[in-house]
Amino acid sequence: EKVKTKSLSKKLVDFTQVDKELLPTVIIVGRPNVGKSALFNRLIQRREALVYNTPADHVTRDIRDGIAKLGDLRFQVLDSAGLEAAATSGSILGRTADMTANVLSRSQFAIFLIAARDGLQSMDLQVGKWLRKHAPGIKIVLVMNKSESLDESDGSLAAAAGEACRLGFGDPIAISAETGLGMSELYGALKPLLEEHMFQIINDEATLESSPEPEESKLPLQLAIVGRPNVGKSTLLNTLLQEERVLVGPEAGLTRDSIRAQFQYDGRTVYMVDTAGWLERTKEKGPASLSIMQTRKNLMRAHVIALVLDGEEVAKTKRSMKHAEIVIARQAVEEGRGLIVIVNKMDLLKGKQKSKLYGDFIKAVPEEIQKLIPQVTGIPVIFVSAREGKGRIAVMRQVTDTYEKWCLRLSTARLNRWLRKVMSRHSWKDQAAQPKVKYFTQVKARPPTFVAFVKGKTVLSDTEIRFLTKSLKEDFDMGGIPIRILQRSLS
């Protein structure tokens, strides 16, 4: 058994061939000025003109990501500038810790960066302590940058390395992001870790199942409310916020003005992502277009997008969605966001509530929406009246339900039991045509992403992928969730 899996892992871990979405994620963490950006730039093989020098700059910087190339290794790399400001300043608030947890949940590995010539500083110790607390499932590699500035011959480099051991993350790997010194040692340290990770993803059910999973669905939820002018977004917003409204300042890892408000629902933090007036402003030209692009980016960063429609108008025009609304809903789905539709102003249709017309309406709207957005099945549609202050529970229940499904992780064992059932359920024309899916595994949540490992040179057709997608959605009740299925061949 062992021999068999060994040869399998060797064949599969050709990082240059792995889909981008499957690559392991490595976050670079360290106090300001240790050279995180310099290392990031070297790894993604881009020279940036601007290397920030003052710690103050870090507060305003975003988390950057890119694909690192290190020999034949490929991985996703995150530059955590901005994170360290939160980790080390005295003014950390709980919600900042939430945000950083959000970022850390995207990584499996961390490069803990220190600087050789500066000696060990108290801030380094703080970062180490913080990592231990917030990154329990993450493998950490200690790396000592700026090593070219210390002499190997007089023992000062060895002394710095010895001091760094005090952090408790083992011997540091000495590098210089500036000159490229030590990059092959870094490769040597990362390669077995990343290979092991890939190997587990594709092959080792037992390890996958026993590995502790972060409770991702408990992380803060980012919700965006969008819609054309006058559909009742602001009214709905106030209904959702009630008296709990808290204005939020800039946060690490988020654009300064992307968060509009924060509230608690059912023990969970909800951030309202500011997308105010997105549809209003799309028609404007000129200087406004830059901010449109920004709001659009914020919108597509939200976990759940709630699209609000004016129920009275829908009833009058007998059309659920207009062009702009269809565009935004489709884009939300393409970007992998959870989508829900809210039909507002239902109080205006109250008089007709007992009529057949009303019943038809409740039935027809979701059907039409489904036809307009065929990319994802089972989009939840809820009917509310924001003016009457009704709908908070209905909306928030649907939002959290969608979010939880968006975060869903299914174990490999469960998926493979499911796969066998599905394969027998479908009547394949002839036995030979049956796709040879050997394993099925979930590699990512938020949104759920699966990999079907197919035997030999078999490639799943679009129809087969659609069949698997539809079955997954039905069997695991994932309406409105844009799930993805990738395929890899096992030879």
Query: Within its chain, how far is the Cα of 138 from the centroid?
Result: 16
Provide, rounded to whole angstroms, the least separation between the CB of residue 218 and ligand GDP. 30
Based on the shown chain and the rule CB under 6 A, indicate whether residue 178 belongs to the binding site for ligand GDP: yes
Pick the stretch among 171-179, 292-300, 462-470, 477-485 that binds ligand GDP (CB under 6 A). 171-179
Q: Amino acid identity of 366? A: P
* DSSP 8-state secondary structure symbol assigned to residue 171: S
Contacts of 211 (CB under 8 A, 6+ apart): 137, 200
Based on the shown chain and the rule CB under 6 A, indicate whether residue 82 belongs to the binding site for ligand GDP: no
- CA distances (Å), origin 286, targets 49, 283, 291, 326: 29, 10, 10, 24
Based on the shown chain and the rule CB under 6 A, indicate whether residue 29 belongs to the binding site for ligand GDP: no
SS (H, E, C) 454-478: EECCCCCCHHHHHHHHHHHHHHCCC
Based on the shown chain and the rule CB under 6 A, indicate whether residue 412 belongs to the binding site for ligand GDP: no
Based on the shown chain and the rule CB under 6 A, indicate whether residue 239 belongs to the binding site for ligand GDP: no
Provide, rounded to whole angstroms, the least separation between the CB of residue 301 and ligand GDP. 21
Nearer to ligand GDP, 12 or 399 (CB): 399
- Rg from Cα positions in the chain: 25
CA distance 205 to 4: 15
Based on the shown chain and the rule CB under 6 A, indicate whether residue 35 belongs to the binding site for ligand GDP: yes
- Residue reference for tokens 């002499």: 151
Q: Which of 5, 184, 207, 230 binds ligand GDP (CB under 6 A)?
A: 230
CA distance 455 to 458: 6
| Structure token pair of residue 18 | 């792995």
Based on the shown chain and the rule CB under 6 A, indicate whether residue 424 belongs to the binding site for ligand GDP: no
| Structure token pair of residue 25 | 């994620």
Based on the shown chain and the rule CB under 6 A, indicate whether residue 30 belongs to the binding site for ligand GDP: yes
Based on the shown chain and the rule CB under 6 A, indicate whether residue 64 belongs to the binding site for ligand GDP: no
Nearer to ligand GDP, 228 or 444 (CB): 228
Q: Which positions from 183 to 212 touch ligand GDP by CB under 6 A, shown as an x/- string? A: ------------------------------
Provide, rounded to whole angstroms, the least separation between the CB of residue 160 and ligand GDP. 13
- CA distances (Å), origin 56, targets 33, 131, 176: 10, 22, 23
* DSSP 8-state secondary structure symbol assigned to residue 352: G
Residue 152, number of CB atoms within 10 A of its CB: 11
Based on the shown chain and the rule CB under 6 A, indicate whether residue 348 belongs to the binding site for ligand GDP: yes
Nearer to ligand GDP, 51 or 101 (CB): 51
Residue 212: asked if its preceding bond is cis (omega within 30°), the reply is no
CA distance 33 to 45: 20
Pick the stretch among 85-93, 95-103, 339-347, 440-448 that binds ligand GDP (CB under 6 A). 339-347
- CA distances (Å), origin 352, targets 166, 185, 198, 348, 363: 74, 73, 58, 9, 15
Based on the shown chain and the rule CB under 6 A, indicate whether residue 80 belongs to the binding site for ligand GDP: no
Based on the shown chain and the rule CB under 6 A, indicate whether residue 65 belongs to the binding site for ligand GDP: no
* DSSP 8-state secondary structure symbol assigned to residue 32: T
Based on the shown chain and the rule CB under 6 A, indicate whether residue 344 belongs to the binding site for ligand GDP: yes
Nearer to ligand GDP, 23 or 183 (CB): 183
Q: Which of 24, 82, 182, 227 binds ligand GDP (CB under 6 A)?
A: 227
* DSSP 8-state secondary structure symbol assigned to residue 345: -
Provide, rounded to whole angstroms, the least separation between the CB of residue 381 and ligand GDP. 16
Q: Which of 128, 232, 435, 448 binds ligand GDP (CB under 6 A)?
A: 232
Provide, rounded to whole angstroms, the least separation between the CB of residue 237 and ligand GDP. 7
Provide, rounded to whole angstroms, the least separation between the CB of residue 390 and ligand GDP. 8
Nearest alpha carbon to residue 29 among 113, 96, 132, 129: 113
Q: Which of 102, 105, 107, 176 binds ligand GDP (CB under 6 A)?
A: 176
Provide, rounded to whole angstroms, the least separation between the CB of residue 158 and ligand GDP. 18
- Residue reference for tokens 């809820």: 382
Based on the shown chain and the rule CB under 6 A, indicate whether residue 33 belongs to the binding site for ligand GDP: yes
Strands 73-79, 64-70: parallel, antiparallel or unpaired by DSSP? antiparallel
Based on the shown chain and the rule CB under 6 A, indicate whether residue 347 belongs to the binding site for ligand GDP: yes
Nearer to ligand GDP, 92 or 276 (CB): 276
Based on the shown chain and the rule CB under 6 A, indicate whether residue 400 belongs to the binding site for ligand GDP: no
**Planar angle of CA 288, 294, 299, nearest 5 degrees:** 125
Based on the shown chain and the rule CB under 6 A, indicate whether residue 242 belongs to the binding site for ligand GDP: no
Q: Is 304 left (phi over 0), alpha (psi -120 to 50) or beta?
A: beta
Q: Which of 307, 386, 408, 454 binds ligand GDP (CB under 6 A)?
A: 386
Provide, rounded to whole angstroms, the least separation between the CB of residue 482 and ligand GDP. 25
Footprint on residues 117-146 left by ligand GDP (CB under 6 A): 145-146
User: Helix or strand or coil: residue 453?
Assistant: strand
Strands 268-273, 221-226: parallel, antiparallel or unpaired by DSSP? parallel
Pick the stretch among 65-73, 227-235, 366-374, 444-452 that binds ligand GDP (CB under 6 A). 227-235
SS (H, E, C) 208-274: HHHCCCCCHHHCCEEEEEECCCCCCHHHHHHHHHHHHCECCCCCCCCCCCCEEEEEEECCEEEEEEC
Q: Give the residues lining the site for ligand GDP (CB under 6 A).
A: 30, 32-38, 51-53, 81, 145-146, 148-149, 176-178, 227, 229-235, 344-345, 347-348, 385-387
